[in-house]
């Protein structure tokens, strides 16, 4: 069954204190076009994300957004060598200048280089495995939504094809009636000339073949949008030829109806993956 190109999927990220969310959206596009909105440090994973999505999505504009709430940690380190050096200098000065050595712990803590505080942030490599799994789950949701749209599109296109077939039956019936009328009102040479110039059997045959091809495409899983658009163009070509060959009001009405159905199919083909 064909798939559409409109889809949405999201999945939460949770690894210890690190929280986040993955969100994937897809809309119509002639080709597969990816846009990334990734946190700092994740740009190196764009190729992997592209391959992950490309395994199941072949066409559409796809936006991938990864949001991470970084729960940073504060680490405090004591520089023991600096402390020993400050204490040594304080004692030396106290002894040399005969001063009271009132150096306190609080004083030492304020000294440059004694205490170093660092903020540690989450690294992309540490959480990539969980992000990758979240992306896979989000893609599953996107594909499921696109398949639901595909089922709806298939019903609509099949209905257009059915109505086209009905109009073709009308055209064939009308052509037979016209030939019968002309045979009684024209001589043999005139009738043969009229029959030859108004012969649309080949166009009808090709048009029916295109309808069968379109029906078969609707049952495929592979990207069918571009193929369906091409078939619709060929349908339009054959229909135009029928309209130009046979100058008859009833057939012209049927031709206009078929062309309208073909145009609707082309519009829907733009929504098919």
Domains 7-71+123-144 and 150-269 share a fold: no
Q: Smallest Cα–Cα separation from 127: which of 46, 47, 40, 13?
A: 13
Instruction: Give me the pLDDT at residue 77, please.
Output: 82
Residue 264 CB neighbours (<10 A):
16
The CATH classification number of 7-71+123-144 equals: 3.30.230.10
Please check whether residue 269 is in contact with residue 1, taking contact to mean a CB–CB distance below 8 angstroms.
no
Residue 11 CB neighbours (<10 A):
20
Q: What is the pTM of this model?
A: 0.74
Instruction: Give me the pLDDT at residue 70, please.
Output: 66
Please check whether residue 153 is in contact with residue 4, taking contact to mean a CB–CB distance below 8 angstroms.
yes
Over the chain (273 residues), the average pLDDT of each successive run of 10 is 94 88 95 93 93 93 91 73 86 82 82 76 85 96 96 95 97 92 86 89 96 93 86 96 92 96 95 93
In angstroms, rounded to a whole number, what is the distance separating the alpha carbons of residues 226 and 208?
20
Instruction: Give me the pLDDT at residue 74, please.
Output: 63
Please, where are the H alpha helices in the chain?
Answer: 46-54, 80-97, 105-110, 124-185, 188-197, 201-217, 225-245, 249-269
Tell which CATH architecture fits domain 150-269.
Up-down Bundle (1.20)
Instruction: Give me the pLDDT at residue 123, please.
Output: 83
Question: Domain coordinates of the chain in residue numbers?
Answer: 7-71+123-144, 73-120, 150-269
């Amino acid at each position: 069954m064909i798939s559409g190109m409109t889809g949405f999927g999201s999945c939460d990220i949770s690894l210890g204190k690190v929280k986040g969310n993955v969100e994937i959206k897809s809309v119509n596009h002639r080709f597969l076009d990816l846009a990334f909105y990734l946190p700092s440090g994740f740009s190196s994973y764009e190729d992997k994300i592209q391959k992950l999505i490309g395994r199941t999505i072949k066409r559409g504009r796809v936006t991938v957004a990864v949001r991470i709430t970084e729960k940073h940690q504060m680490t405090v380190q004591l520089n023991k060598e600096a402390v020993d050096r400050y204490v040594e200098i304080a004692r030396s000065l106290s002894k040399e200048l005969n001063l009271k050595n009132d150096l306190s712990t609080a004083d030492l803590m304020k000294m440059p280089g004694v205490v170093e505080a660092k903020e540690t942030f989450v690294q992309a490599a540490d959480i990539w495995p969980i992000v990758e799994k979240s992306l896979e789950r989000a893609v599953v949701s996107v594909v499921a939504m696109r398949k639901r749209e595909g089922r709806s599109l298939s019903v609509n296109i099949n209905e257009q094809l059915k109505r086209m077939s009905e109009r073709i039956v009308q055209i064939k019936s009308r052509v037979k009636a016209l030939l019968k009328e002309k045979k009684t009102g024209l001589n043999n040479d005139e009738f043969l000339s009229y029959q030859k110039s108004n012969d649309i059997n080949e166009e009808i045959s090709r048009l029916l073949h295109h309808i069968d091809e379109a029906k078969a495409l609707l049952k495929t899983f592979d990207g069918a949008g571009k193929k369906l658009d091409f078939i619709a163009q060929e349908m339009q070509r054959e229909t135009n030829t029928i309209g130009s060959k046979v100058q008859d009001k009833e057939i012209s009405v049927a031709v206009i109806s078929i062309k309208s159905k073909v145009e609707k199919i082309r519009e829907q083909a733009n929504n098919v993956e």
